[in-house]
């Protein structure tokens, strides 16, 4: 009886169940028909005998496998394998458990381990197959079981030396790494993040506030910032009147992201008698081994924020920028000190160079060309040779180029990027106008050919900006690059005598980007226009450059006709034809859609070669720059663009709608 009891204890639980079920069935059959008593006994004896033989066979196979594994190991090592202090299980490749250690049973006593084993087996197979190695059959996968995290170390082992009939089993150790992960998380969370907080246009705003009210306003700003940083138990140091250093632990970074920098809105609520609205720029970084490196990274992020117009925040993490805010209109700077400093510095750089090359963005418009013409005249007046790099394929400047062709002086001025690449050297000054993005300039390959680079741009700075520029004049308050170039021309030491066509091209650049002086204009915009007007601008001729032929007008009308409205006030249209002037048609159609009542923003999609271009326009209520920036583009609140690759027109349209919806959901939150 004892032997039978031991036998039943040794059998696996599934076999026991089968034997009990068979016994019950045979008893029932025998009761119904007594003739089955003897056959039933014989059948049951045969069944038990088969179970014994099968069980012994499996045990022999397992013993042989363990012996093979530990053939060269001493007895103590064999005992360690069986009595492993780690949970140990041996399974078939289909996930069926063959054997488990006592530690495994106690560790997962209250957990249904079956599903976990299946997942682990699948992951181990994937891991081994990814190695593409025949000899290494070991893999490690991480898995969460209950409240603990384990490294499941699996080893595939052959159960038969016969290659033709060989099968595999998997031996899996479970290493509890829960505490290790907690320590790693605590270490990461305890690292410092460094931030810089700046009050935008502090000096100019304070000049508009009465002296007796200034201390009160300053105290309110300080309190607002201190209260916000206290929510993350951070350290705030006031470095200057308008600048703060902010240090906090990385564990609070997610909290700041979820808060979406509510301080940006709170600071605007500070009231004063002059109704001056204060805004903040915030840059945070966790990149770098030391706080000094993190501070430098945050400073770089702050430069980008200020280049984007301020009133926003940026987090630099894992070499990626994440921007928050930035929906307010740019504030025009009344002081022209920076323009004077830039003009003098640019003049010195030109004098130190043997020649100057000027280029704008790909598929240049009249703003890029007008700015180039202005810089060309400055260089010529300083006695240096200048060349403008442009493509002959562009159609947006057709009318202007026809006028330029009549002027003999510019016959050798316009050169291709191939000619420029052959003639540029280390002592060549490269001036880039109307863009600051590495991949958006007319000839990106020239950026590595010289160390002297100047950038003059009015767009909000993006993350892929040209970092190695010697001199940067990037003012987002400006209506156009032509406006900035016009200011420079007025402040150089030498009097510049603009040719008529040069003044007209600069004037046309301002006209185009302001939509005939209706969008994004300030006092300095009209001052620049007045200066150009004195230089002999023929407004009628400039107006002719913008005229569309009847065919183009019909195309634009057809695009407007097929436009659809999303989110109640946003118009989206598609130009399906692949023509050379597609980008120009899309831009004009986007402008035309804004003339329709109740349309606050418009987007027109079209083809440029293999890419899909998007022209975005707004009357100011919606920031099209933020929307298109998520599609790899950029620009301004009221005027922006993007180029998309790798998607169909319908996919691009749907992605645009998704980004528009995302924009509105962020505003609501």
Q: For residue 126, what are the contacts with CB-CB under 8 A and spacing of at least 6?
A: none
Per-residue b or e along 52-78, where b marks 16 or more CB atoms closer than 10 Å to that residue's CB: eeeeeeeeeeeeebbeeebeeeeeeee
Identify the pLDDT of residue 19: 75
Average pLDDT over residues 24-51: 81
Q: What is the CATH number of domain 192-325?
A: 3.30.70.270
Q: DSSP code of 578?
A: -
Domain boundaries, the chain: 2-69, 84-184, 192-325, 341-545, 550-668
SS3 readout for 147-187: CEEEEEEEEEEECCCCCCCCCEEEEEEEEECHHHHHHHHHH
Residue 535 CB neighbour total at 10 angstroms: 18
The model's confidence at residue 82, banded by pLDDT at 50, 70 and 90, is low
Report the first-to-last Cα separation within the chain, whole angstroms: 75
Eight-state DSSP code of residue 146: T
Question: How far apart are alpha carbons 383 and 77 in whole angstroms?
Answer: 88
pLDDT the model gives residue 544: 81
Please answer whether residues 452 and 470 qualify as being in contact, where contact means their C-beta atoms are separated by less than 8 angstroms.
yes
Average pLDDT over residues 497-508: 93
Give dist(CA 511, CA 146) in Å, integer: 66
φ/ψ (deg, to 5) at 149: -115, 135
Is residue 322 scored above 80 in pLDDT? Answer: yes
Is the model's pLDDT at 465 over the cut of 70? yes
Residue 121 has pLDDT above 50, yes or no: yes
The rounded distance, in Å, linking the Cα atoms of 617 and 419 is 36
**Which of left, alpha, beta for 646 (phi over 0: left; psi -120 to 50: alpha)?**
left
pLDDT at 55: 72
Beta bridge partners of 155: 138, 171
Q: Write down the pLDDT at residue 249.
A: 94
pLDDT band at 2 (very low <50, low <70, confident <90, very high): very low
Q: Strand 471-474 vs strand 453-457: parallel, antiparallel, or unpaired?
A: parallel
Please say if the pLDDT value at position 198 is more than 90: yes
Task: Give the mean pLDDT of 224-242.
Answer: 92
Instruction: Determine which of 290-299, 418-427, 629-638 has the lowest per-residue pLDDT on average.
Output: 629-638
Is the pLDDT higher at 84 or at 559? 559
pLDDT tens figures, 596-616 = 988 999 999 999 888 899 999
**C-alpha span between 623 and 327 (Å, rounded):** 6
Indicate the range of 163-172, 205-214, 466-475, 487-496 predicted with least confidence.
163-172
The confidence band for 306, taking pLDDT boundaries of 50, 70 and 90, is confident
Measure the CA angle with vertex 478, ends 472 and 483; round to 5°: 85
Indicate the length of the chain as a whole number.
Answer: 669
Kindly report, residue by residue over 173-182, the tens digit of the pLDDT: 898 999 999 9
User: Which one, of 246, 239, 240, 230, lies nearest residue 286 by Cα?
Assistant: 246
320-325 and 243-249 strand pairing: unpaired
At residue 425, φ and ψ (nearest 5 deg) are -145, 180
In CATH terms, the superfamily for domain 84-184 is PAS domain (3.30.450.20)
Q: Are the beta carbons of 334 and 302 closer than 8 angstroms?
A: no
Half-sphere exposure of 271 (CA within 13 A, CB side): 1
**Residue 245 in contact with residue 237, Cβ under 8 Å?**
yes
Distance, C-alpha 455 to centroid of its chain:
24
| Mean pLDDT, rounded, for 223-244 | 92
Please compute the mean of the pLDDT values over residues 272-278 and round it to a whole number: 84
Q: How confident is the model at residue 356 (pLDDT cuts 50, 70, 90)?
A: very high
* Dist. CA 124–CA 169, nearest whole Å: 12
Cβ proximity of 603 and 572 under 8 Å: yes
d(CA 36, CA 38): 6
Task: Give the pLDDT score at 651.
Answer: 92
Q: Scan for tokens 């009344």, then name that residue.
A: 334
Higher pLDDT: 259 or 57? It is: 259
CB 263 within 8 A of CB 280: yes
400 three-class SS? helix
Looking at every residue in the chain, the average pLDDT score rounds to 83
Question: CB under 8 Å to 122, separation ≥6 — which residues?
Answer: none
Q: What is the pLDDT of residue 5?
A: 46
Q: Which CATH class is domain 550-668?
A: alpha beta
**pLDDT over 90 (residue 50):** no
pLDDT at position 64 is: 63
The domain 341-545 is placed in CATH, from the list 3.40.630.190, 1.10.240.10, 3.40.1360.10, 3.90.1640.10, at 3.90.1640.10
What local confidence, expressed as pLDDT, does residue 65 receive?
Answer: 62
Higher-pLDDT residue of 577 and 132 is 577
> What confidence tier does 252 reach under pLDDT thresholds 50, 70, 90?
very high
pLDDT at position 371 is 95
How many C-beta neighbours within 10 Å does residue 654 have?
12
């Amino acid at each position: 009886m004892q032997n039978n009891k031991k036998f039943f204890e040794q059998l696996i639980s599934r076999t026991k169940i089968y034997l009990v079920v068979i016994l019950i069935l045979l008893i029932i059959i025998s009761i119904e028909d007594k003739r089955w008593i003897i056959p039933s006994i014989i059948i049951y004896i045969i069944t038990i005998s088969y179970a014994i033989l099968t069980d012994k066979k499996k045990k022999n196979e397992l013993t042989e496998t363990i012996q093979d594994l530990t053939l060269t190991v001493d007895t103590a090592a064999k005992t360690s394998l069986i009595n492993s202090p780690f949970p140990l299980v041996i399974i078939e490749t289909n996930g069926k458990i063959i054997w488990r250690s006592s530690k495994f049973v106690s560790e997962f006593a209250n957990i249904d381990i079956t599903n976990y084993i299946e997942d682990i087996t699948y992951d181990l197979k994937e891991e081994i197959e990814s190695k593409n190695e025949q000899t290494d059959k070991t893999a490690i996968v991480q898995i969460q079981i209950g409240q603990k995290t384990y490294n499941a170390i699996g080893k595939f082992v052959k159960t038969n030396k016969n290659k033709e009939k060989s099968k595999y089993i998997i031996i899996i150790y479970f290493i509890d790494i829960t505490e290790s992960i907690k320590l790693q998380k605590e270490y990461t969370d305890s690292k410092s993040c460094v931030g810089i907080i700046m009050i935008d246009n502090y000096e100019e705003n304070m000049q508009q506030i009465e002296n007796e009210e200034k201390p009160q306003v300053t105290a309110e700003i300080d309190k607002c910032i201190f209260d916000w940083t206290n929510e993350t138990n951070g350290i705030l140091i006031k470095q200057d009147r308008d600048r703060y250093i902010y240090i906090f632990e990385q564990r609070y970074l997610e909290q700041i992201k979820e808060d979406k920098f509510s301080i940006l809105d709170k600071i605007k609520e500070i009231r004063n008698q002059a109704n001056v609205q204060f805004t903040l720029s915030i840059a945070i970084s966790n990149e770098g081994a030391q706080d000094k490196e993190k501070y430098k990274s945050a400073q770089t992020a702050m430069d980008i924020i200020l280049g984007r117009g301020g009133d926003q925040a940026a987090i630099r993490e894992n070499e990626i920028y994440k921007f928050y805010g930035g929906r307010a209109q740019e504030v025009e700077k009344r002081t022209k000190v920076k323009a004077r400093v830039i003009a003098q510095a640019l003049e010195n750089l030109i004098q130190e160079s043997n020649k100057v090359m000027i280029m704008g963005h790909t598929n240049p418009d009249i703003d890029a060309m007008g700015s180039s013409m202005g810089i060309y005249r400055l260089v010529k007046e300083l006695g240096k040779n200048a060349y403008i790099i442009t493509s002959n394929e562009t159609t947006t400047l057709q009318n202007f180029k026809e006028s330029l062709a009549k002027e003999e002086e510019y016959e050798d001025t316009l050169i291709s990027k191939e000619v420029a690449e052959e003639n540029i050297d280390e002592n060549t000054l490269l001036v880039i106008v109307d863009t600051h993005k590495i991949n958006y300039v007319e000839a990106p390959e020239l950026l590595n050919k010289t160390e002297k680079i100047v950038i003059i741009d009015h767009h909000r700075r993006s993350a892929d900006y040209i970092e190695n520029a010697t001199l940067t004049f990037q003012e987002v308050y400006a209506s156009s690059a032509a406006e900035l170039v016009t200011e420079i021309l007025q402040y150089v030491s030498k009097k510049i005598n603009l040719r008529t066509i040069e003044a007209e091209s600069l004037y046309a650049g301002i006209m185009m980007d302001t939509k005939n002086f209706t969008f994004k204009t300030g006092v300095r915009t009209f001052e620049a226009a007045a200066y150009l007007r004195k230089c002999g601008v023929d407004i009628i001729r400039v107006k002719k450059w913008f005229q569309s032929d009847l065919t183009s007008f019909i195309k634009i009308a057809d695009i407007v006709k097929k436009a659809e409205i999303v989110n109640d006030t946003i118009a989206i249209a598609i130009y399906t034809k692949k023509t050379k002037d597609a980008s120009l048609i899309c831009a004009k159609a986007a402008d035309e859609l804004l003339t329709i009542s109740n349309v606050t923003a418009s987007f027109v999609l079209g083809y440029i070669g293999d890419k899909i271009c998007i022209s975005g326009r707004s009357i100011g209520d919606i920031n099209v720059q933020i929307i298109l920036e998520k599609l790899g583009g950029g620009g301004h609140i009221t005027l922006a663009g993007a180029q998309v690759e790798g998607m169909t027109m319908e996919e691009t349209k749907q992605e645009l709608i998704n980004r528009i919806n995302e924009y509105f959901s962020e505003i609501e939150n």
